[in-house]
Amino acid sequence: MQIQWTCPFDGKFIAALSWEAYRQRLSINSGHVGRAPPGTDWHRPLPPAVLDQETVYIPYHREYFADFQLPQMACGPVEGRLVCVSKEKATPLLRELLRRAEAR
Question: How confident is the model at residue 76, as a pLDDT?
Answer: 92
Range of the domain at 65: 2-103
| Count: domains in the chain | 1
pLDDT greater at residue 27 or residue 16:
16
- For the chain, give percent helix, strand, coil, nearest 5: 40, 20, 45
* pTM exceeding 0.75: no
What totals of helices (H) and strands (E) does the chain contain, helices first? 4, 4
Rounded to 5°, the CA angle 50-97-94 comes to: 55
